[in-house]
Chain A
Amino acid sequence: MADPVLSVQDLTTSFRVDGQWRSVVRDVSFDIGPQETVAVVGESGSGKSVTAMSIMRLLPPGNARSTGRIEFEGEDLLAGPLEQMQAIRGNRIGMIFQEPMTSLNPVLKIGSQITEVLRQHRGLDGAEAEAEAVRLLDRVRIPSAAARLGEYPMNFSGGMRQRVVIAIALACAPRLLIADEPTTALDVTIQAQILELIKTLQEEEGMSVLFITHDMGVVAEISDRTVVMYRGEVVEKATTEAIFREARHPYSRALLSAVPQLGAMAGQDRPLRFPRVDMATGEIAPPPPTADTVRVNEPPVLKVDNLVTRFPVRKGILRRVVGRIHAVEDISFELRQGETLSLVGESGCGKSTTGRSLIRLEEPSGGTVGMDGHDVRGAGHSELTKIRRDVQMIFQDPFESLNPRIRIGEAIAEPMIVHGLVSRREAPARVADLLERVGLSGEMMQRFPHEFSGGQRQRICIARALALEPKLIVADESVSALDVSVKAQVINLMLDLQERYGLGYLFISHDMAVVERISHRVAVMYLGEIVEIGPRAAVFETPQHPYTRKLIAAVPVADPSRRRRRVVAGDEIRSPYRPADYVAPKRLYREVGEGHFVQIHESEAAA
């Protein structure tokens, strides 16, 4: 191999916590060759981001220290003074971060943010810098670049912002690009665009890329070699093909088996648990099959007809309604006891609003919602209380959805006591029982939420939801914020509970692969409307609507041997904002298979 561009040897980074030094990264070594892409993959707390920050020396000098050797083109980055690093940072090493909004200054024009770098590092000025900025925006495929120089970051969408950040990183033609979770905050179709862009640019510029991610699908898609990190240490490094073909370390195997793969469910007609991996031996136990839980012969527990939820947008002194966000537009579906219906779509498609409208956390503007025979929209106070007991929600962020000042035992007991299901005296026993059912221990009752990890907190939320013995659980992106292996465990738990209690799930998610794993039926949402709904196998194996196809095509495939150059459409996600006098067209659906409906395209409908 040619001389590596970057060579990290025995890197150890420690942080000072409460006056004590704790090592967060230990003895990490890897090389990146010229024009090579190396992925560092691991879960939260594995030290992957700290490794990147250590290379750039971006950690606060007082509270963090790094030892070892980081050689960049023969120069030891750790040895020199910080000023020397300043010349390398943003010049010979470019960096892009996860959150494109926070890495751009919101009050400066895009143009001046790019020309600033050009002035500083390349000594260009005035018209010269401007011309170069236009060229850079062209490189990252931002249409009508010259016109957009005068705009502010808020005028750009998430994907476009990330392109601008990449343009800035490229400004000095770096030899190495460090990308720290650059696509995690983006929607899947936009993620596909950005990954494609990074690959193309790497070829054009001949640079090396250090790609940090938690997503094995993205790893398979982009990297030549992969470094797997676990609790601050490198547990395995090999070519990406080798890792995916025959991972040696138990942790790598566990990580891989927990990765939902789109298409892995072909031929299955029920949801499937994730296989369990023994962390000592690395042996993979096949998952027990799920039972058939759907109660086909009973009337559906939830019946939604022509639900509409719109948010008025007001302007001016008189606060007149100038337009509306059509968050949910004329959707209908049913859900049976023991069935999982997934709502999938990208951000802003109205899937969360749909879930919230069901129990009137958002007030619907039209349509009917029937919950076990009760009319939700017409329900009075006491009837709504009864409905909300039967429908429980689990939210996305387990750090947010538990009150930080209430002990978890009390948090779980509270709804039961308020609704008179148990007395104060009986509550602790019942809480302990619930905690054990979700895989925690009853002794944890006395603790506060901040003493738990993300996965544990989500289990607590599930225990609390179960406390009221609901018929239906609305899971709003409930596993999206969790690490892969924890995500797999929580999904397995949800499947166990479905078998045990015959729960219906309305599973709201943007993650196609997870949806494929857990659902009986799937509804694809776009701009507030359901464009396709049907049995899981039918929707994933024979998608009919162009948007469903686009969504499935954009999901990264966790298999490097199936890597392909994709032609990714460069279009943006559109906004569901409409002027006040807009009349939503009546949508028609065509049945293409048993229970499989597809929205008829406008041009067809007119004919």
Chain B
Amino acid sequence: MAAPSETARSVHADAAAASASVSPFRQTLGKLLRDPLALIGLLVVTLLVIGAVFAPLIAPQDPYDLAQLDIMDGRLAPGSQSMTGMIYLLGTDDQGRDLFSAILFGLRTSLLVGIASAAIALAIGASVGLFSAYAGGRTDAFLMRIVDIQLSFPAILIALIFLAILGQGVDKIILALVVTQWAYYARTVRGSALVERKRAYVDAARSMALPDRRILFRHILPNCLPPLIVVATMRVAYAIMLEATLSFLGIGLPVTEPSLGLLVSNGYEYLLSGDYWISFYPGLALLVLIVSINLIGDSLRDILNPRREG
């Protein structure tokens, strides 16, 4: 133990002893709320998630219900009034669909696809990474070569091939996104699990004859969480973006379930004729969502990085 770190440690221990017993999760949350940028990100994301979840209650119109749409209201500018007296806050698309409502419902699909695919990919990737690190040797080498191969193809290419085979649908796009994403989690978890595995508390657990599964998931995994959380936040944003790209290209989701990407794509052909809002507002919603998630991710990365511990 070098002298300066010894001092730092004792000063730190004093400071820690003064504060009450706080779990690492709460400490992180506390620090996150003290970072103004992260706070903004968190607020915006919360707002958007609430909007998406309660879309059927908030939205003035059900964009899927064709009976409510009037083709005569097509391509109205933001703020226009409909025949029935309803005000289109963000204008309408070519079908006469209220864009504000469509964005709320689109957010629903985008968030669902992003979060679900990230969660499934995380579960698969983390398990593979943990197992790979714990098993070591040939198993580890074999699994990591698969990860290498997977990562050497561009994500969009793999997703394209998959969707071309499977066809359209929310479940299919989630599957395609999981396939393109799990490898990132696997590699991240394996890296930190390799470090954790060599630490004395794992030896201690083994010497107490705890089952391997317990050591893996209860002891090693929680200590690999910090980098995993950071990767996961960034990956959610990436998955949403990838889904938008695929939908924009017309191979993601069916037109009946418009996500943000599909809405952008719908308005694309009218951009040059001056009806900018059909593409612009869904695009803006996408941008705000992704930037906000990334703000949280950035802040988490700084907080959870042990080297920045002062």
Contact = CB atoms under 8 A, between A and B. Distances in A.
A306 B180 CA distance: 53
A50 B6 CA distance: 10
B65 interface: no
Given A392-B207, A393-B204, A53 B2 contact: no
A345 B2 CA distance: 23
A99 interface: yes
Interface in A20-52: 22, 24, 44-45, 47, 49-50, 52
B2 A99 contact: yes
B272 interface: no
A359 interface: yes
A397 B13 CA distance: 16
Interface stretch (B14-22, B74-82, B120-128, B275-283): B14-22
A401 B4 contact: no
B200 A24 contact: no
Nearest to A184: B1
B211 interface: yes
A468 interface: yes
Contacts of B223: 403-405
Interface stretch (A285-293, A443-451, A516-524, A536-544): A443-451
Q: Classify the interface of chain B: helix, strand, loop or mixed.
A: helix
A98 B2 contact: yes
A83 interface: no
* Contact-residue size bin, chain B (C-beta under 8 Å from the other chain): 35 or more
A18 B18 CA distance: 12
Contacts of A393: 203-204, 207
A382 to B, nearest CB: 10
A361 B206 contact: yes
Interface in A445-472: 446-448, 450-451, 453, 461, 464, 468
B274 interface: no
Interface in B1-45: 1-4, 6-7, 9-17, 21, 23-24
A391 B13 CA distance: 32
Contacts of A386: 209
Contacts of A356: 203
Nearest to B13: A453
A464 to B, nearest CB: 8
Given A15-B11, A405-B222, A181 B3 contact: yes
A507 to B, nearest CB: 16
A97 B17 contact: no
Given A18-B15, A44-B6, A402 B21 contact: no
A102 interface: yes
A119 to B, nearest CB: 27
B3 A22 contact: no
Contacts of B209: 384-389, 415, 419
B83 interface: no
B24 A405 contact: yes
Nearest to B25: A405
Contact of B7 (A49, A102, A359): A49
A400 B199 contact: yes
A395 interface: yes
B197 interface: no
B219 interface: yes
B211 A361 contact: no
B211 A418 contact: yes
A529 interface: no
Contacts of A447: 21
B142 to A, nearest CB: 15
Contacts of B12: 17
A97 B3 contact: yes
B23 A448 contact: yes
Contact of B210 (A395, A418, A453): A418
A180 interface: yes
Contact of B16 (A400, A402, A451): A451
18 contacts: A17-B15, A44-B10, A45-B10, A49-B4, A49-B7, A98-B3, A361-B203, A384-B209, A388-B206, A388-B207, A388-B209, A400-B201, A402-B204, A404-B24, A405-B24, A414-B208, A414-B218, A468-B208
Interface of B: 1-4, 6-7, 9-17, 21, 23-24, 199-201, 203-211, 214, 218-219, 222-223
Given A388-B206, A401-B201, A404-B24, 15 more contacts: A22-B14, A45-B7, A47-B7, A49-B7, A50-B7, A384-B209, A385-B209, A388-B207, A388-B208, A389-B208, A392-B207, A405-B223, A418-B208, A418-B211, A448-B24
